[in-house]
Amino acid sequence: MTVNANYLPGFRVKTASRGDIDPKMLRVNAERLREDFEALAEIDATAEGGIDRVALSGGDLDARLWLAERIEDIGLTLCDDDAANLGGIYPAETQDARTLLVGSHLDSVPDGGRYDGAVGIVAALECMRILVENKIQLPVNLELIDFTDDEGTWHSLFGARALAGILPPDVTNEARTENAPFCAALGRVGLSLRDVPRARRIPNTLAGYVELHIEHGTRLENAGASIGVVTGIVGRTTYEVIFHGQAGHSGTTDMYKRRDALRGAAQFIVRAHEMVRARYGDGIFNCGDIQVEPGKYNIIPSKACLIVECRHISETLMSEMEIAMIQIARECAASHGLTVEIEPKIHMPAAAMAADFIEAIEASCDALGLSYTQLASYAGHAAQALSQIMPCGMIFIPSVGGVGHSPLEFTPWEDIVKGANTLLQTILRVAFA
């Protein structure tokens, strides 16, 4: 039966056994947070100081078990869904309350770092522990959530897309041979691919989603700010680009009649990078892999299969950039007598974070006396998919040198504590808004 009118209009905290608590005084227990962080970083740790815990691997399953035990220790209601998203619920006072999600992901890229995802999970866990310990009754159900395969070992943002109901039907079609390995992986947590669509949530039952994550970039570091207030997440399209030429003896085929698929592909990589840098300052182009056939030193390559991606914060400029990239691929093919197939594989539209979540994060930083700056996320995150059905907010903390997806990730401990306190205060502000 509490009012703290100074904190936020309408901000009310009821406690069952104590008197009024001033929510703005609540802070995470930094020592306990660190114990959790270090225990989690032990699971599938690599010799290089990172982790290798790809989705649904043995290590991911160990981490899920670890999280489930922590959730039960706190006294939350353990829950999971048909996309293997795992969590714990701290129920609201009222039965018909909406649910505020808070979380991140336990999985990593192959040979990844110990901060990506893990920081968001242990911070969310500690926030809930603080709320439970202090018997803060919220007007929303607060649900901690670990999203399955956020990193895309199987399907990028799989758990978040399943929850948002935006997975393409192909992904959950058990009849497709290429889905068999993923079927088997899901079987390890007792789930069936065909049941994944049941993980979809009804939008009007949801109050939103908040996540704390390391930046994977240097803008925070460069700005000297403690907290990044994410305004939006870049759109991303992944393409398969296949150049087809003609094999032939590398020594004897007429030099001016060669149809060298790799030569055309190399020109495409060079020109696409140059085009994006020259004309789309904030845009990203990456060619992450190339497979050559037949792949012999003395045979002219007949096929080069590239995986590329484009990212941009503006959907309009993103489309322009993709059209320009496709044009370059066609020109490079034409100038080497090749044909080219260009197939978009995944498109995640650019996503704006909710204005009231942005305001809540900034107000929390102000209350905590933390410096902050607004920025866009150039990495995809669960909020990108979730924002299609609910308001989302993201809190970034710096990663030294902007390192991401690498065992070299490092964030000073005090920055993690700042981020966790910002998350806690943001949860309270959003819950009581």
Sites of contact with a copy of itself (CB under 8 A): 109-111, 152, 156, 215-218, 234, 236, 238, 246-255, 257, 260, 262-263, 265-267, 269-270, 273, 277, 284, 286-290, 292, 294-301, 307-309, 311, 377-380, 402-406
Q: Would you state the torsion angle of the CA atoms of residues 92, 98, 102, 106, taken in this order, to the nearest 10 degrees?
A: 100
Beta strands in 71-190 (DSSP E): 77-80, 86-90, 99-104, 141-146
* Nearest distance, CB of residue 222 and a copy of itself, angstroms: 9
Cβ proximity to a copy of itself: between 262 and 353 the closer is 262
Asked if residue 372 lies in contact with residue 365, where contact means CB atoms within 8 angstroms, the answer is yes
Cβ proximity to a copy of itself: between 80 and 260 the closer is 260
* Nearest distance, CB of residue 209 and a copy of itself, angstroms: 20
Cβ proximity to a copy of itself: between 332 and 390 the closer is 332
Indicate the SS3 state at residue 358: helix
Asked if residue 421 lies in contact with residue 400, where contact means CB atoms within 8 angstroms, the answer is no
Cβ proximity to a copy of itself: between 136 and 328 the closer is 328
Any residues with CB less than 8 A from the CB of 365 and at least 6 apart, and which? 226, 227, 229, 371, 372, 422
* Nearest distance, CB of residue 124 and a copy of itself, angstroms: 22
Cβ proximity to a copy of itself: between 4 and 253 the closer is 253
Q: How far is CA 98 from CA 133, 161, 203, 358, in A?
A: 22, 20, 10, 20
* Nearest distance, CB of residue 151 and a copy of itself, angstroms: 8
Alpha helix ranges (H) inside 369-412: 382-386
- Encoding tokens for residue 319? 């489309």
Cβ proximity to a copy of itself: between 75 and 295 the closer is 295
* Nearest distance, CB of residue 69 and a copy of itself, angstroms: 30
- Encoding tokens for residue 223? 């700005």
* Nearest distance, CB of residue 239 and a copy of itself, angstroms: 9
Cβ proximity to a copy of itself: between 88 and 380 the closer is 380
* Nearest distance, CB of residue 171 and a copy of itself, angstroms: 16
**Bridging pattern class, strands 339-348 and 235-244:** antiparallel
Count other C-beta atoms under 10 Å from residue 29's C-beta: 15
The one-letter code for the residue type at 193 is L
* Nearest distance, CB of residue 125 and a copy of itself, angstroms: 24
Task: Report d(CA 106, CA 52) in Å as an integer.
Answer: 11
The phi and psi torsions of 168 (rounded to 5 degrees) equal -65, 145
129 CB burial (10 A radius; 0-12, 13-18, 19+): buried
Cβ proximity to a copy of itself: between 134 and 250 the closer is 250
Most distant CA pair in the chain: distance in Å? Answer: 89
The one-letter code for the residue type at 201 is R
Cβ proximity to a copy of itself: between 59 and 112 the closer is 112
* Nearest distance, CB of residue 172 and a copy of itself, angstroms: 21
